[in-house]
Amino acid sequence: MNATLDANRPLGRSAATVSPVALGCGNFGGVGSAPEFFGQGLTEDQALELMDAAWEFGITHFDTADAYGGGRSELAIGRWIQSRGVNPQLTTKTFNPMKAGADRGLKPERITRQLRASLDRLGVAHVDLYLAHDFDTGVPLSESFGAFDAAQADGTIRAYGVSNFDAAQLAASLAAGSPQAIQNCYSLLTRTDEPELLPLCARRRVAYLAFSPLAGGWLTGKYRRGEPFPAGSRMTQRPGPYQEFLAGQTFDALDRLRSVAAGRGTSMAGLALAWLLADERVTQIVIGPGRPEHLAPVGEALAHPLTGAERDAIDRTLA
């Protein structure tokens, strides 16, 4: 599937559409939803510069969450929208605490409260997609989705979905409500969703949105065997999610990917994004650049799309 940034794709079974590439804003004022990193990440000025660059590049969908930076991400996006006078498509999410020790989860009253606060920080009347940011074992899905349905009915969200759910949890969600999308971690190095969840999405027409498409920077080539991690990289800030990549076979796979990318005249990051964009099962990829120049691999991926045969060949290279 060839992709262009202005060719929107259907969002599941809904009437909504989304761009194939979204700007992930989890590093605005923090490092994701972890309270210990609130106030770190990109400064507001750096976030505004990055949003300017993304918009000029043609990326018009911004992805955030209430707890990113403890609300700082949504505030930065809201200030950018107000000062630039433009209206990007917006995804936001709820589940995680807004500060250490604060409440979390998907109780209906919390969803209603958190959505209202998100809209206030963003300075908008609605968001295009609202996601449950994790699975809540303590609240029936039907109750949570009742709050999402009510928000959809009153026009404050266009569609809703889930994130960080496995196949069984998504199946239960489809029995309890009408989620149109799931956003999970997926990349050349992270393939957990391939056996069960991706086929389920295809059968039930649930849009699959891939975050961390460069595996926390591992698919940029910045991490080299036997060398210290670059200052300011994910592996020096929040290495926990990527510990599995420290094994020798990861570096072997990266060496093979680097060779394939060089043969195509692109960076390894550009190749990794092209691999995702060529997957008809993937509706959107969410990139999380730290600087404007990190948008370049998106351009490479769009300029050098992969055919199905080329994508299969890359899979065989990694096997």
Residues serving a catalytic function are 68
Amino acid present at 179? P
Phi, psi of 97 (to 5 degrees): -70, 150
Residue (of 301, 307, 311) closest to 5 by Cα position: 301
Length of the chain: 319
216 burial type by CB count under 10 A (0-12 exposed, 13-18 middle, 19+ buried): buried
CA dihedral over 237, 243, 245, 247, signed as positive or negative:
positive
Closest CA to 276 of 245, 297, 250, 255: 297
Residue holding tokens 């929107």? 8
3-state per-residue secondary structure call for 77-137 = HHHHHHHHCCCCEEEEEECCCCCCCCCCCCCHHHHHHHHHHHHHHHCCCCEEEEEECCCCC
Is there a contact between 282 and 276 (Cβ–Cβ < 8 Å)? Answer: yes
Residues 6+ apart with CB under 8 A from 239: 229
The two structure tokens encoding residue 239: 């290495």
Structure tokens belonging to residue 119: 């809209």
